[in-house]
Amino acid sequence: MLQQYTDQIETIGLYGFYTLLFLLMGLSISEILKRSNVPKFGQYIVWAVLLLGCVGFIFKGLVEVIWTSIY
């Protein structure tokens, strides 16, 4: 039974790993921004770039799911 769901398990594990990676990147960036006294505008730019990366990854995943379900 486990062999039937291998692709799904791998996909969930990969997305979980990416989620953890984005979370750890966010925590490390937060710490770096606190220690280096970056101005607020610079902090907003850094967080916007990180957020757009996360949104792009989520959008890519959604497009992939929709694309594979149609074709």
pTM, 2 dp: 0.65
Unique residue bearing structure tokens 């990676």: 21
The H or E element that residue 20 is part of is: helix 6-35
Q: What is the pLDDT of residues 1-20, one digit of tens each?
A: 677 888 888 888 988 998 89
Cβ–Cβ < 8 Å for 15, 61: yes
Q: What is the pLDDT of residues 30-65, one digit of tens each?
A: 999 999 989 999 999 999 998 898 899 889 888 988
C-alpha 37: how far from chain center = 26
Phi-psi region of 37 (alpha: psi -120 to 50; beta: other; left: phi over 0): left
